[in-house]
């Protein structure tokens, strides 16, 4: 189990994990039962103190393990990082694109995309202004192509709907 809150991307050390013995009926499926089994591994999503570490929490060579078959990962740079308030790994969002030239209205480019990772906000080294926040989402391959193709022409935002929040 995690001995403290851990952020996504943490390389686990002896101090980050401990073994707690629980009844077999209460144990998480595929939970690690030896500290040395996870030391040096990298977690792929935030983990709370006291949460069991399972195979689904560690980054592996298969970055899409645990996501629906046929999924792709796409990175979108959300123009206004403040708009991500409340969005976290696991949240389902619609990715909206707005033409940077203002020639058309915003449109949904990817529906029901699951947030896989939320890297830190980047700043432009010359201006010190925010360059947006890169968010990685799991989407069907055709939506991944649409997002990638639109990256140079559109500004991105995300929308969380009540229906998606309850899933």
Cβ(64)–Cβ(73) below 8 Å: yes
- Which pLDDT score is estimated for 45? 79
Lowest mean pLDDT among 90-99, 116-125, 154-163: 116-125
- Which pLDDT score is estimated for 108? 94
- Which pLDDT score is estimated for 166? 46
The confidence band for 63, taking pLDDT boundaries of 50, 70 and 90, is low
The C-alpha atoms of residue 3 and residue 94 are separated, in whole angstroms, by 34
pTM above 0.75, yes or no: no
Q: Name 65's Cβ contacts closer than 8 Å, sequence gap at least 6.
A: 55, 56
The C-alpha atoms of residue 134 and residue 65 are separated, in whole angstroms, by 21
Task: Locate all alpha helices (DSSP H) within 27-121, ordered by sequence.
Answer: none
- Cα separations in angstroms, 83 against 29, 104, 143: 35, 21, 21
- Cα separations in angstroms, 162 against 68, 83, 93: 22, 16, 10
- Which pLDDT score is estimated for 131? 60
The confidence band for 130, taking pLDDT boundaries of 50, 70 and 90, is low
User: How much of the chain exceeds pLDDT 70, in percent?
Assistant: 85
């Amino acid at each position: 189990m995690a001995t403290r809150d851990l952020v996504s991307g943490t390389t686990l050390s002896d101090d980050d994990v401990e073994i707690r013995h629980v009844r077999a009926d209460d144990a998480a499926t595929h939970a690690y039962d030896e500290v040395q089994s996870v030391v040096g591994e990298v977690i792929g999503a935030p983990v709370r103190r006291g949460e069991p570490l399972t195979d689904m929490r560690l980054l592996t060579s298969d970055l899409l393990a645990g996501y629906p078959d046929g999924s792709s990962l796409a990175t979108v740079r959300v123009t206004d990082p403040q708009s991500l308030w409340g969005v976290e790994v696991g949240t389902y969002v619609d990715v909206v694109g707005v033409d940077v030239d203002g020639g058309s209205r915003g449109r949904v480019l990817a529906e029901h995309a699951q947030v896989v990772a939320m890297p830190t906000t980047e700043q432009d080294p010359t201006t010190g202004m925010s360059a947006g926040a890169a968010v990685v989402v799991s989407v069907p391959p055709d939506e991944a192509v649409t997002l990638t193709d639109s990256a140079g022409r559109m500004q991105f935002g995300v929308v969380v709907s009540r229906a998606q929040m309850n899933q």
